[in-house]
Amino acid sequence: MISQEHGSLIEMIPPAAREAAGRLFADPGETILRADAPASHFYLLEAGSAKLVCEPIDSPPLIIDIYHAGDFFGEMEMVGLEIKDRSVVALTACELLCFTRDQFFHLWDQERAFSRTILAVHCRRLLAAGDDKVYTDGTLLSQRVLRVIHGHTSPGGWFLYTKQILAELTGISMRSLNRTLKALQLDGLIDVQAGAIRLKY
Protein backbone atom coordinates (compact mmCIF):
# COMPACT_ATOMS: atom_id res chain seq x y z
CA MET A 1 0.00 0.00 0.00
CA ILE A 2 1.15 3.57 -0.67
CA SER A 3 1.90 5.72 2.35
CA GLN A 4 -0.36 8.75 2.52
CA GLU A 5 2.72 10.95 3.00
CA HIS A 6 3.44 10.59 -0.70
CA GLY A 7 -0.03 11.72 -1.78
CA SER A 8 -2.00 10.28 -4.66
CA LEU A 9 0.08 8.89 -7.49
CA ILE A 10 -2.82 9.44 -9.89
CA GLU A 11 -2.65 13.19 -9.27
CA MET A 12 1.05 13.16 -10.19
CA ILE A 13 0.30 11.87 -13.69
CA PRO A 14 -0.63 14.52 -16.29
CA PRO A 15 -4.15 14.16 -17.75
CA ALA A 16 -2.73 13.48 -21.22
CA ALA A 17 -0.67 10.56 -19.89
CA ARG A 18 -3.72 9.14 -18.10
CA GLU A 19 -5.73 9.40 -21.30
CA ALA A 20 -3.00 7.60 -23.26
CA ALA A 21 -2.83 4.72 -20.75
CA GLY A 22 -4.69 1.50 -21.32
CA ARG A 23 -7.64 0.58 -19.12
CA LEU A 24 -8.37 -2.73 -17.49
CA PHE A 25 -11.54 -3.82 -15.69
CA ALA A 26 -11.48 -6.87 -13.44
CA ASP A 27 -14.34 -8.65 -11.69
CA PRO A 28 -14.01 -9.99 -8.13
CA GLY A 29 -11.85 -13.13 -8.16
CA GLU A 30 -10.34 -12.36 -11.56
CA THR A 31 -6.56 -12.59 -11.88
CA ILE A 32 -5.03 -9.29 -12.94
CA LEU A 33 -1.38 -10.34 -12.92
CA ARG A 34 -0.62 -14.06 -13.07
CA ALA A 35 2.28 -15.70 -11.23
CA ASP A 36 5.33 -16.38 -13.42
CA ALA A 37 3.72 -14.65 -16.42
CA PRO A 38 5.81 -11.85 -17.95
CA ALA A 39 4.54 -8.45 -16.77
CA SER A 40 4.49 -5.99 -19.63
CA HIS A 41 2.67 -3.14 -17.85
CA PHE A 42 2.74 -0.95 -14.78
CA TYR A 43 -0.66 -0.99 -13.08
CA LEU A 44 -2.31 1.83 -11.13
CA LEU A 45 -5.50 0.95 -9.28
CA GLU A 46 -8.12 3.65 -9.84
CA ALA A 47 -10.99 1.90 -8.09
CA GLY A 48 -11.52 -1.29 -6.12
CA SER A 49 -9.25 -3.56 -4.08
CA ALA A 50 -6.94 -6.42 -5.02
CA LYS A 51 -4.74 -8.88 -3.17
CA LEU A 52 -1.13 -9.92 -3.78
CA VAL A 53 -1.01 -13.68 -3.36
CA CYS A 54 1.94 -16.05 -3.04
CA GLU A 55 1.01 -19.26 -4.87
CA PRO A 56 3.46 -22.10 -4.11
CA ILE A 57 3.05 -25.28 -6.14
CA ASP A 58 2.55 -27.64 -3.19
CA SER A 59 0.84 -25.43 -0.60
CA PRO A 60 -2.26 -23.24 -0.21
CA PRO A 61 -1.95 -19.61 -1.38
CA LEU A 62 -0.98 -16.89 1.10
CA ILE A 63 -2.08 -13.24 0.94
CA ILE A 64 1.01 -11.01 1.10
CA ASP A 65 -0.55 -7.56 0.65
CA ILE A 66 -3.80 -5.76 -0.14
CA TYR A 67 -3.97 -2.98 -2.74
CA HIS A 68 -6.59 -0.23 -2.69
CA ALA A 69 -7.48 2.68 -4.99
CA GLY A 70 -4.34 4.77 -5.51
CA ASP A 71 -1.96 1.83 -5.02
CA PHE A 72 0.17 0.42 -7.81
CA PHE A 73 2.06 -2.71 -8.78
CA GLY A 74 4.25 -3.97 -11.59
CA GLU A 75 7.05 -1.47 -10.92
CA MET A 76 9.48 -4.25 -10.01
CA GLU A 77 9.00 -5.89 -13.38
CA MET A 78 9.46 -2.53 -15.10
CA VAL A 79 13.00 -2.30 -13.66
CA GLY A 80 13.83 -5.90 -14.57
CA LEU A 81 13.21 -7.71 -11.28
CA GLU A 82 11.59 -11.12 -11.67
CA ILE A 83 8.81 -11.86 -9.17
CA LYS A 84 7.94 -15.56 -8.94
CA ASP A 85 4.92 -17.37 -7.49
CA ARG A 86 2.92 -14.19 -6.94
CA SER A 87 -0.36 -13.16 -8.49
CA VAL A 88 -2.58 -10.11 -8.13
CA VAL A 89 -6.26 -11.02 -7.84
CA ALA A 90 -9.23 -8.64 -7.69
CA LEU A 91 -11.08 -8.64 -4.37
CA THR A 92 -13.78 -6.27 -5.63
CA ALA A 93 -14.62 -4.86 -9.04
CA CYS A 94 -11.42 -3.09 -10.11
CA GLU A 95 -10.60 -0.37 -12.61
CA LEU A 96 -6.93 0.05 -13.48
CA LEU A 97 -4.71 2.25 -15.61
CA CYS A 98 -2.08 0.23 -17.50
CA PHE A 99 1.14 1.85 -18.65
CA THR A 100 3.60 0.26 -21.07
CA ARG A 101 7.28 0.20 -20.21
CA ASP A 102 7.92 3.20 -22.49
CA GLN A 103 5.05 5.16 -20.91
CA PHE A 104 6.29 4.27 -17.43
CA PHE A 105 9.83 5.48 -18.07
CA HIS A 106 8.58 8.62 -19.82
CA LEU A 107 6.69 9.50 -16.62
CA TRP A 108 9.74 8.53 -14.60
CA ASP A 109 11.93 10.95 -16.56
CA GLN A 110 9.43 13.81 -16.82
CA GLU A 111 7.49 13.77 -13.52
CA ARG A 112 9.75 14.13 -10.48
CA ALA A 113 7.01 13.57 -7.89
CA PHE A 114 5.98 10.38 -9.73
CA SER A 115 9.50 8.93 -9.77
CA ARG A 116 10.17 9.90 -6.13
CA THR A 117 6.98 8.18 -4.97
CA ILE A 118 7.65 5.05 -7.02
CA LEU A 119 11.21 4.88 -5.70
CA ALA A 120 10.17 5.31 -2.06
CA VAL A 121 7.48 2.62 -2.24
CA HIS A 122 9.72 0.36 -4.32
CA CYS A 123 12.51 0.52 -1.72
CA ARG A 124 10.04 -0.23 1.06
CA ARG A 125 8.74 -3.23 -0.86
CA LEU A 126 12.24 -4.57 -1.45
CA LEU A 127 12.94 -4.36 2.28
CA ALA A 128 9.62 -6.01 3.12
CA ALA A 129 10.19 -8.75 0.54
CA GLY A 130 12.82 -10.32 2.77
CA ASP A 131 10.42 -10.39 5.73
CA ASP A 132 7.64 -11.73 3.50
CA LYS A 133 9.89 -14.55 2.31
CA VAL A 134 10.86 -15.52 5.86
CA TYR A 135 7.22 -15.50 6.94
CA THR A 136 6.02 -17.33 3.85
CA ASP A 137 8.74 -19.98 3.99
CA GLY A 138 8.09 -20.58 7.69
CA THR A 139 4.36 -20.89 7.19
CA LEU A 140 4.71 -23.27 4.26
CA LEU A 141 7.21 -25.39 6.19
CA SER A 142 4.83 -25.61 9.16
CA GLN A 143 2.03 -26.70 6.85
CA ARG A 144 4.23 -29.36 5.26
CA VAL A 145 5.36 -30.80 8.60
CA LEU A 146 1.81 -30.78 9.96
CA ARG A 147 0.50 -32.63 6.89
CA VAL A 148 3.14 -35.35 7.28
CA ILE A 149 2.38 -35.74 11.00
CA HIS A 150 -1.35 -35.88 10.30
CA GLY A 151 -0.84 -38.57 7.69
CA HIS A 152 1.13 -40.85 10.02
CA THR A 153 -0.64 -40.86 13.38
CA SER A 154 -2.10 -43.54 15.64
CA PRO A 155 -5.80 -43.48 16.60
CA GLY A 156 -4.75 -41.54 19.72
CA GLY A 157 -3.11 -38.82 17.62
CA TRP A 158 0.52 -39.84 18.23
CA PHE A 159 3.02 -39.60 15.37
CA LEU A 160 4.14 -43.14 14.53
CA TYR A 161 7.81 -42.41 13.81
CA THR A 162 10.79 -40.62 15.32
CA LYS A 163 11.70 -36.99 14.70
CA GLN A 164 14.60 -38.16 12.53
CA ILE A 165 12.19 -39.97 10.22
CA LEU A 166 9.87 -36.94 10.23
CA ALA A 167 12.81 -34.81 9.08
CA GLU A 168 13.47 -37.26 6.24
CA LEU A 169 9.80 -37.38 5.24
CA THR A 170 9.61 -33.59 5.04
CA GLY A 171 13.07 -33.20 3.49
CA ILE A 172 14.45 -30.73 6.03
CA SER A 173 17.26 -30.64 8.57
CA MET A 174 16.78 -31.53 12.24
CA ARG A 175 17.48 -27.92 13.14
CA SER A 176 14.69 -26.66 10.87
CA LEU A 177 12.39 -29.40 12.11
CA ASN A 178 12.96 -28.56 15.79
CA ARG A 179 12.32 -24.87 15.07
CA THR A 180 9.12 -25.74 13.18
CA LEU A 181 7.90 -28.12 15.91
CA LYS A 182 8.43 -25.41 18.49
CA ALA A 183 6.34 -22.98 16.42
CA LEU A 184 3.58 -25.58 16.06
CA GLN A 185 3.65 -26.14 19.82
CA LEU A 186 3.31 -22.42 20.48
CA ASP A 187 0.32 -22.38 18.12
CA GLY A 188 -1.26 -25.17 20.18
CA LEU A 189 -1.36 -27.61 17.26
CA ILE A 190 0.96 -30.31 18.61
CA ASP A 191 2.48 -31.53 21.85
CA VAL A 192 6.02 -32.92 22.11
CA GLN A 193 6.87 -35.19 25.06
CA ALA A 194 10.25 -36.92 25.36
CA GLY A 195 10.66 -36.75 21.60
CA ALA A 196 7.18 -38.14 20.87
CA ILE A 197 4.80 -35.94 18.86
CA ARG A 198 1.01 -35.79 19.34
CA LEU A 199 -1.60 -33.81 17.45
CA LYS A 200 -3.80 -31.63 19.66
CA TYR A 201 -6.74 -31.19 17.29
The domain of 31 spans 4-133
138: in domain: no
Split into its structural domains, the chain has a count of 2
Q: Is the pLDDT at 136 greater than 60, yes or no?
A: no
143: in domain: no
The enclosing domain of 27 has a CATH number of 2.60.120.10
Phi, psi of 43 (to 5 degrees): -110, 135
Residue with the bigger pLDDT between 57 and 129: it is 57
Residue with the bigger pLDDT between 10 and 173: it is 10
**SS3 for 197?**
strand
Give residues with Cβ within 8 angstroms of 132, minimum separation 6. 54, 64
Q: Is the pLDDT at 3 greater than 50, yes or no?
A: no
| Per-chain mean pLDDT for the chain | 83
Say whether both 127 and 165 belong to one domain. Answer: no
pLDDT of residue 6: 42
The enclosing domain of 155 has a CATH number of 1.10.10
Could you write out the DSSP letters of every residue in 30-70? Answer: -EEE-TTSPP-EEEEEEES-EEEEE--TTS--EEEEEE-TT
Q: What is the mean pLDDT of residues 78-93?
A: 82
Say whether both 105 and 37 belong to one domain. Answer: yes
